[in-house]
Amino acid sequence: MGISRAVAAGVLGLVATASTFSALADETSTGDKLRILYSNRFTFDDRGIPLITVELASGRKSVRLGARSGLAVLPDGDGGARIDGGGRWVVSLEGGKPAEIRDWTVVSRLDAGDETGATRALRQWKQRGYTARRFEVGTIFGVEGEVIDSRQLLIGISPQAHPHGGAEAHRIAAKYHIETSVHPEMVRRPQGMVVAKSGDVTVRNPSVLWFHPGKANDTIAVDDIEAGRGGSQLETKLETRRYWGSVYVTVGTDGKLVVVNAVAADRLLAGLVPSEIFADAPEEALAAQAIAARTELLEKIGTRHLTDPYLLCSSQDCQVYSGAGHEHPRTTRAVERTRGMILLRDGGGLVDARYSASCGGHGESNDFIWGDPPDPSLRASVDAPPGSPLVRRFATVTDKNIGEFLDQPAKAAWCGATRYGKGRYRWTKRLATSALNRLIAAKYPGVGAVRALEPVERGSSGRIRVLRIVGADKTITVRGDLHIRRLLGGLRSTLFMVKATGPSRAPTAFTIRGAGFGHGVGMCQTGAIGMAETGKKFASILLHYYPDSHVRRLY
């Protein structure tokens, strides 16, 4: 299935000269073509299912791809010129030039209709002497009378050449005691000639080339896709993966090739859901996962990768997507059973349906983990039935009671009572001091031999946001859930306590005793399984993890 012409429109026509095909200019410029790919809109296929563009690989000098039924190049997308080649193509780039990006420090986030607030904020920051602009992010679409509006107005100040916006944002946050973030603005799009070769056939086209399999029910294989990206994982590997739909190769912001899959949302979900949850889990847990994943898929559109030629990435930064061949009949049935179902806030708009493998018995609030504005549907809560001892005794996990919390039996929590919680609900990792010293020194030279790991700030769930590392030569403070997990060798979560072995001034090892797997915000996937095993339906499961929300069929 190809991408709709509404998305691919505007690519140049072709002329054949022997074995080489080149683009001719028409009324649509190279900039117009890239503008379409870089836009935050999506369309629907002829079945009414949203079409999503997902990044598969970036920063590539060349790309190898193919299909069993042969692979055709369509510079115009569906309905345009078609060049049939062999089963394998190699794509390269000539004259690649990176984009010019400008970073703005975001000092205010407002509802899309808050013109008064936007005007007031712009005036305030301009009076302080800053260059200030407003930006709109998110998207709006309507289906069957339901309008879904995820738009926000951002007030950005003090533009800096990318990637220096982060330092400026930190400086402004410290000066005015406010939460800030960075909004990238595309000043000039990347450029380059995309060249595809198959045998004695060569196709050249500015900016982008689309690839379709010879048969609609075939898949496209792309070589050297990096597996294991994102999260706390420290190792990745390269493998060949297959994808439904179309693939396009275009110029990324770094002036190198980026490979993107254009695929119907539910086909994407069929490959995504088994990567997120055990396929043999109860049907109601699979249904809850399918709805949460679909909601998160649509909610992220227009809010991430704003300077990239795709809507979503395929790593844990967005949603893990492994492509075709990773589907499972049970998860595919869950996607089909819940076709078009999403989670809406009771007050309107899509829920930011975050989820993680296991909360360890206590979920965390979104603002504590990521510094976002507090979300009423993403609050810290105990993952147990109402009135249970866990709920009564551990509304907040602190340094004083974390040991007792970690001692709670697995049956006390939804995510511990199921067999799927083994190794996730509770875990222990022992780090020899020599190994820990190497981990710390690789990121923070000069600390010296580690003497202590001391929590400075914990969230309601007991997760650590700020950790003090006491070294023989220097003491440092590190921040951020994911940063701490990676720094300490890929921990499953930051809900942990530490016990040193040996003399206090020269410990020989550190034992890290923890709970959960992931950030703990939103739905606990293992907990959803535990709830389903007791007979809970998907609507009840979702309401437990996303309060003030309801399920709605969008398409």
Whether residues 199 and 63 fall in one domain = yes
**Of the residues 335, 365, 388, the one at which a domain ends:** 335
Burial of 57 (0-12, 13-18, 19+ CB in 10 A): buried
Phi first, then psi: what are they for 175, rounded to 5°? -70, -40
User: Does 23 have pLDDT greater than 70?
Assistant: no
Per-residue pLDDT tens digits for 362-372: 999 999 999 87
Range of the domain at 323: 5-98+190-335
Structure tokens at 393: 């005794």
Integer Cα distance of 449 and 428 in angstroms: 22
Query: Residue 545's pLDDT is what?
Result: 98
Assigned domain for 289 exists:
yes
Assigned domain for 168 exists:
yes
**Of the residues 144, 168, 188, the one at which a domain ends:** 188
Whether residues 182 and 112 fall in one domain = yes
| Structural domain count, the chain | 2
Per-residue pLDDT tens digits for 271-326: 889 988 999 999 999 999 999 999 988 887 777 788 888 888 877 677 778 888 88
Per-residue pLDDT tens digits for 243-258: 998 999 999 999 999 9
Q: Which of 38-52, 187-201, 349-363, 436-450 comes out lowest in average pLDDT?
A: 38-52
User: Does 15 have pLDDT greater than 70?
Assistant: no
Integer Cα distance of 181 and 157 in angstroms: 11
The C-alpha angle with vertex 78 and arms to 72 and 81, in degrees rounded to 5, equals 60
Whether residues 20 and 154 fall in one domain = no
Whether residues 209 and 267 fall in one domain = yes
Assigned domain for 398 exists:
no
**Which residue type occupies 468?**
R
Confidence of residue 41 (pLDDT cuts 50, 70, 90): low
User: Does 10 have pLDDT greater than 60?
Assistant: no
Whether residues 225 and 270 fall in one domain = yes
Assigned domain for 40 exists:
yes
Whether residues 116 and 256 fall in one domain = no
Assigned domain for 390 exists:
no
Q: What is the pTM of this model?
A: 0.80
Other CB atoms within a 10 A radius of the CB of residue 546 amount to 28
Whether residues 247 and 324 fall in one domain = yes
Whether residues 29 and 115 fall in one domain = no
Assigned domain for 223 exists:
yes
Whether residues 231 and 316 fall in one domain = yes
CATH code of the domain covering residue 180? 3.30.70
Per-residue pLDDT tens digits for 444-453: 999 999 999 9
Assigned domain for 497 exists:
no
Element (H, E) at 227: strand 220-227
Tell me the sheet residues that pair with 471: 450
DSSP symbols for 169-218 = HHHHHHHHT---EEEEEEEE--EEEEEEEETTEEEEEESEEEEEESSTT-
Query: Residue 22's pLDDT is what?
Result: 43
Kindly report the three-state secondary structure assignment for every residue of 368-409.
HHHCCCCCCCCCCCECCCCCCHHHHHCCCCCCCCHHHHHCCC
Structure tokens at 371: 């510094």
Query: Residue 46's pLDDT is what?
Result: 73
Whether residues 14 and 111 fall in one domain = no
**Of the residues 335, 366, 389, the one at which a domain ends:** 335
Phi first, then psi: what are they for 543, rounded to 5°? -65, -35
Whether residues 239 and 184 fall in one domain = no
Assigned domain for 357 exists:
no
Task: Name the pairing type of β-strands 191-198 and 51-60.
Answer: unpaired
Whether residues 177 and 276 fall in one domain = no
